[in-house]
Each structure stands twice: as C-alpha cells, then as structure tokens.
Structure 1
Amino acid sequence: MVKPELSSEMTGDVTHDTLHHGRVTYTQFVNGYRTGLEPVLLAALVPARPGESILEAGCGAGAGLLCLNARVTGLHLTGIEADADTVALARFNLDRNHVSGYTLFQAEIPDMPRSLRQTCRNANGRFHHAFANPPWHPSGATPTSHPRRRRALFCDRNGWSCWITALAAWVMPGGTLSLALPAAAVCEAMRCLHEAEFGSITLFPLWPKAGRRAKIVLLQAVLGGRAGTAISPGLIIHEENGQYTAETRHVLCDGAALIP
C-alpha cells in the first residue's frame, strides 16, 4: 500500500493530532476551522450497522467519518466538502487510518454531486444514514476574514433549511438524518424535517455543565417515522472543575455510542 502523503503546500499548514484517545490519527489545518467536539459526538449518535451506507455533508477533514468508522466496521462512507484543500486533507486522513470503501466529493450544499447516486450501493440510490454539522452562524452575522473558516461557520441566505432539504432527499425510508445545531435553530429544523416527511424526532441536548443551558443540540429524525418528538436526557459535557464527565470521556476516548 502506498503511504499517504500531503502536498508540499500543505505540510507547513497542519497539525498532527489524534481522536478517540489516540486510536485515530487526525491531521487538520492550523488556521481557519479547527475541529471541535461536535463532529465526534454527532458521529456517536448515528445508529449505523456494519455494511450500511453513510453520507456526511460538510465532512471537513474527516473527523466524523473517521470516528464512525472506528466504532462500526464495514461501512460504505461518502463525504461532501466544499473546500478543495480540505477534501484533500480528508482523503489523507482516511487513507492514513486505512479506511477502505469511501468516496469524497468536492461540492457545496445544496448542489449535490451528479454521480452521488452511483456511490450508494442500495437499490434506490439512497443512504441508510446521513449526518451533518452545518454552518452555525446566519448569513447576516459579521463574517471572519479567513475564507476556510468563513465557509465552515457561516450559512448562506437559506440557512439550515437548505442543508436539511438537500440531505433529506438522499435518505432511504426508515433511515436517519442526524444534525448538530445551535439550540436557536431547532424550531426551523423540525419544521423542515416534517415537511420532508421525517418523524420520530429525538432531541439530544449537550449541556456544558449541570444546570447550564444547552447551546448545542444534536437532533435525529427517521424518514417516515411515526413516533412523536422525544427529548433525550442528553449529555453533560463538563464537571464543575472543567474536566470532561465520565460519560463524555466514554464517547471521546473510548468511541462509545451516545445511544447504545
């Protein structure tokens, strides 16, 4: 197997880190967008089983795909990312971690790649599960000057509904769509999901500390699901002393699922 290498233009612009307490090697850019907890926790929410097909929009350098692959074997992974250099970095990370059976596209939501259907192995050309950590800031907010960070953090004028509508069309009946969203976006997201015929919605709040308001909510819905909306107890991220809680360490370090 050929050892994956970064282009000479990238080598001085990255840091070499790890995920899941060293089980996953992970290279990311020094400047621009740096991976936070959200893609790791979101990947832990996806109820994937071996052999299923997975689609992630806005996959960045591949943190979510890598963490999901580390937890569930034999997945068919597809990632979409708008930034060309970040696509190259995601490919480097996936190859470096010996991930097989993946496809990456450079594309910007809502413009899905024309050949996306051919990458899915299901008869209807749709995926078992899709997930995304969309840009959080509305288009009217004051943007950052760094182009890669601006693209990762700021929505276009159609906001979160654009991402939900685009991804909803690629989930097979009975499949799930999982999102990491600011709490302020939940009402809009639920409206869009209902319009796309998703139900059985579960809200999974991420509490910064016990007794604090959740600013981030993970949300999961089932295409054709008929159950009502449920609010999970969620996850308390930090103890009062600032350390991760045992439950959070179990996900971040051990690669555990959020909902067993």
Structure 2
Amino acid sequence: MKTTTDKFLDGRIAAKQPINGYRAATDPVLLAASVDISLGRRVLDVGCGVGVASLCLAARLPDVEISGLEIQDLYARLASQNASANNVNLAVHHGDLNALPIALKDQVFDQVITNPPFHRNKSVSQNAGKALADHETLGLSKWIALSLRRVRPHGYFTIIHMAEVLPDILQALDNCGDIRILPFAPRRGQMANRVLVRARKLSKTPARLLPPFIMHRGKAHDVDGDSYTKQAKKILRDAAPLQI
C-alpha cells in the first residue's frame, strides 16, 4: 500500500500515512498538547492510528511512558514503524477496545487519551481503512466507558471530538469530575467545531468551560499559506502545551 511521509511539529516528527486511508491532521497534535506530565507519566492512546498523537506527545515530553491501541493491523504496524523511525519508545498493541489484547487487560494508566471515529451519518468511504477510522462502530458512549476502564482511580481521560457530540461525551463521563471543556473555533466569532474534554475519574470537582481556542486569523482564508493564530502555531509548530 502506498504511503506518504508527513511532518508534524515543524518537522520534529515524521510519520508514514496511507495515501488513501485515514490521515492524521491537527486533532492528534492538539490532543497530544493537552497531556500534562504532572498528572502521571503512564499514558494510553486509544485508537492511536499511525501514532501521530503519541509521537507528538513524546517529542514534547520524552519522559512519558506511552502505549497505543489500534484495531487496524496496517495502522498498528505503521505506528510501530513510525515510533522506531522517530526514536520513540511506543508500545503499540493491535486489538479491539471491546476485546483487549492480553497485554492490556490488567493494565491501568495515569492518563488515557483518544481521538475516536467522528462520523455517524456521513456516507461511508469506499476505502476500508478510512471508513473504519472515520465512522463509529462501537458507539461513542461505549468507547468512552471502555476507555475509562483503563484509567486508574483518580486518573485522567481526555478526548477530542466534534462539538456537536459534547452532550454525549458529558453523559458518558457520569463517574468523573474536574471536567475541563475547551472549544476550538476556526475563527473569532465563529462557532466551535471541535471540543477537547478532560475529566478526572471519581472526582467530585465541578466542571469548567474554558474560553474558546481560536485556530485561524481573520474572517476568512484570504492569504497564501496557513493563517494559524500565534497561539495555534505555538501548539502545532513549536510543541507548546495546551493550557487546560
């Protein structure tokens, strides 16, 4: 299968991705930027794809201990190859969240991060890899519930998803507290189209709705090249952390 090698974090990371399959963009980079090492060093990336979130996390925080779970064998193999090529110690597990590999069944982690399949009603891609990566087959609430089983008591769970499913995310986090909700808006004055939600398992601390993170300058894309805000460039290019 044909792949391209794509760079992230201004070239700090290079990852092979299928030309016609699911291709990582900004979401896994934003997800990686949300991890705070002070909350624990052991991190599980659920649905890790070719490993972009894990690799970006390791580039910023080389002392984290990262594992990845990926249901598609091709993507799991690419994640392992990408980890090796970037000198990242990433333990990639090929398996289903609903039927965990033996190596993960008894493990819990300080932090679990995930960028799950997004689309529910969109027409399914003819590319099998992209279809499985893009479309919910397990159901979001079950995806979150099973991910939370891998979180240690009082550990943290973080998800990035479409803004429209925020009610479903919050409903699935019924045994969590200290929930931080960070909306991402394409431009100032526009509605958020993504949310990043971090929650602490078994916590009773009230939730917080954070100010929106603005991705692009101006009212429209009317310049050559990218139009990312300075804040977005720090995350996407300089491997700066998200403040949550």
What TM-score bracket applies, with the shorter chain setting the length?
A: over 0.9
User: How is 1:224-235 mapped onto 2 (pairs within 5 angstroms)?
Assistant: 224-235=202-213
Alpha carbon RMSD of aligned pairs, Å?
A: 1.6
Alpha-carbon distance in structure 2 between the residues aligned to 1:65 and 1:103: 10
**Residue 132 (str. 1) matches residue 120 (str. 2):** no
Q: Report the TM-score, using the length of structure 2 for normalisation.
A: 0.93
User: How is 1:1-260 mapped onto 2 (pairs within 5 angstroms)?
Assistant: 10=1, 13-49=2-38, 52-100=41-89, 102-117=90-105, 125-138=107-120, 140-156=121-137, 158-194=138-174, 197-240=175-218, 242=221, 243-259=227-243
Shift of the 24–141 alpha-carbon distance from structure 1 to 2, 3 Å rule, reads: closer
| Residues 181 and 196 in structure 2, CA contact (< 8 A), matched pair in contact too | yes
Alpha-carbon distance in structure 1 between the residues aligned to 2:105 and 2:96: 16
Q: Which string of whole-angstrom CA distances, capped at 9 and with x for unpartnered residues, describes residues 108-131 of structure 1?
A: 23222222146xxxxxx3100001
Shift of the 50–172 alpha-carbon distance from structure 1 to 2, 3 Å rule, reads: closer
| Residues 82 and 108 in structure 1, CA contact (< 8 A), matched pair in contact too | yes
| Residues 54 and 75 in structure 1, CA contact (< 8 A), matched pair in contact too | yes
Alpha-carbon distance in structure 1 between the residues aligned to 2:155 and 2:55: 20
Q: CA deviation at 1:68?
A: 0.5
| Residues 217 and 229 in structure 2, CA contact (< 8 A), matched pair in contact too | yes
| Alignment-mate amino acid for residue 213 of structure 1 | M
Q: Which string of whole-angstrom CA distances, capped at 9 and with x for unpartnered residues, describes residues 57-97 of structure 1?
A: 11011100001101112211110111111111111110011
Unmatched 5+ residue regions in structure 2?
222-226
Report the secondary structure of 2:173's partner residue: helix
Residue 6 of structure 1 is matched in structure 2 by none
Alpha-carbon distance in structure 2 between the residues aligned to 1:207 and 1:110: 32
Identity %: 29
Shift of the 202–79 alpha-carbon distance from structure 1 to 2, 3 Å rule, reads: same
| Residues 192 and 212 in structure 2, CA contact (< 8 A), matched pair in contact too | no
| Alignment-mate amino acid for residue 118 of structure 2 | W
| Alignment-mate amino acid for residue 111 of structure 1 | A
Q: Which string of whole-angstrom CA distances, capped at 9 and with x for unpartnered residues, describes residues 156-196 of structure 1?
A: 2x5211210111011112211000111121111111111xx
Q: CA deviation at 1:51?
A: 7.3
Shift of the 236–49 alpha-carbon distance from structure 1 to 2, 3 Å rule, reads: same
Unmatched 5+ residue regions in structure 1?
1-9, 119-124
Q: Report the TM-score, using the length of structure 1 for normalisation.
A: 0.87
Report the secondary structure of 1:142's partner residue: coil
| Residues 109 and 162 in structure 1, CA contact (< 8 A), matched pair in contact too | no
| Alignment-mate amino acid for residue 106 of structure 1 | H
Alpha-carbon distance in structure 2 between the residues aligned to 1:87 and 1:190: 29
Q: Which runs of 4+ in 1 moved over 6 A?
A: none
Alpha-carbon distance in structure 2 between the residues aligned to 1:52 and 1:258: 17
| Residues 50 and 74 in structure 1, CA contact (< 8 A), matched pair in contact too | no
* Aligned pairs, number: 238
Alpha-carbon distance in structure 1 between the residues aligned to 2:6 and 2:168: 35
Q: CA deviation at 1:202?
A: 0.7
